[in-house]
Amino acid sequence: MLRPKALQKGDTIGIIAPASPPNMKRLGKAIPFFTNLGLRVKVGRNIAKVSGYLAGTDEERLADFNEMLADEEVKAIIFARGGYGTPRLASSLDYDLLAQHPKIIWGYSDITYLHVAIQQKTGLITFHGPMPASDLASPDIDEQTLASLSQLFEPTSLQYNEDISPLEVLAEGEASGNLVGGNLTLLTSTLGTPYEIDTAGKILLIEDVNEPPYRIDSMLNQLKEAGKLTQAAGVVVGSFTQIKSNTKPSCNLEDILYHYLSDLSAPVMSGFAIGHCSPNIGIPLGVPATMNTQMKTLSMMPGVLK
């Protein structure tokens, strides 16, 4: 387990777009959030580029990423938004440089592929959390979402319970293991690649957005057939939002989750406000965690930064 250093006032963070192009006006509205925290902000030189559904060509997006990795002033890399395209960069990142000079890596959604790849290659703790152009620019952003960023500055008690959101137990029990995962679509896309998600003895987080029920069914079935569900020590179900069925008849999400997760010999809870939702609670990935269905808690190692 490799830990990056905590941020201090005066530190510089880098903001880049490794996936889809951000709305630059929204990004501009989010930058003062960081400067008000006493941070300096350096924006990737290609961040405003557009290449179809991508924020510039692969070469341009990769250049921004590797430049931020090499920049000694940059202590954290915050991703502007998700969308599509991050996996296209995974094979060309400078993982050795990141391992030698670990930095905070923060984002979610399409960034899930990077979380998995970085953990597989370096063991670095990364953060699944709200992003500037997609979350922090919203005028009605939830206070719990903002509060979760405090873990980047100081040791924070990281326990998720029903004070944050109602939780439902799908399979009872208690389990401990490193917390891994993120967006279900991206986790599924790692299968059969050098960055395939490792769930053995780990607590698996899944969440997604804008997927019809049959797609969620298909992806969970693929994880099941790949052994990823049965190998997990526990499963944490985050937000599944904007679920729209374009087929009739259809199934609801609850039935699908119950079908795949309720008979696991590991604890499973759903209802976590993690992912495409408000609040969107930022959490560390790659850290030891414990889930307890009787207490309805998910507890993560506090003070994960140096």
pLDDT tens digits, one per residue of 186-230: 999 999 999 999 999 999 999 999 999 999 999 999 999 999 999
Q: Is residue 242 within 8 Å of residue 274, measured between CB atoms?
A: no
Catalytic residue, from 20, 109, 134, 239: name it: 109
Neighbours of 144 (CB within 10 A): 16
Run of H or E including 78: strand 74-79
pLDDT in tens, 257-303: 999 999 999 999 999 999 999 999 999 999 999 999 999 999 998 87
* Active-site choice (128, 239, 270, 276): 276
> For the sheet containing 268-270, what is the strand order?
158-160, 297-300, 288-292, 174-183, 203-209, 234-241, 268-270, 168-171
Kindly state the DSSP code that residue 210 receives in the 8-state scheme: S
Instruction: Write down the domain spans for the chain.
Output: 12-141, 158-300
Taking 80 as the threshold, does the pLDDT of residue 165 lie above it?
yes
Report pTM. Answer: 0.96
User: Dihedral, CA atoms, 211, 217, 222, 226, nearest 10 degrees?
Assistant: 120
User: 12-141: CATH homologous superfamily?
Assistant: Murein tetrapeptidase LD-carboxypeptidase, N-terminal domain (3.40.50.10740)
Tell me, yes or no, if the two domains 12-141 and 158-300 fold the same way.
no
Domain at 158-300, CATH from 3.40.50.1820, 3.50.30.60, 3.30.70.260, 2.60.120.10: 3.50.30.60
Q: Is 207 a catalytic residue?
A: yes
Residues 127, 152 contacting (CB under 8 angstroms):
yes
Selected catalytic residue, list 128, 189, 207, 270: 207
Q: Residue 173: pLDDT above 80?
A: yes
The model's pLDDT over 64-101, given as tens digits with 9 standing for 90+, comes to 999 999 999 999 999 999 999 999 999 999 999 999 99
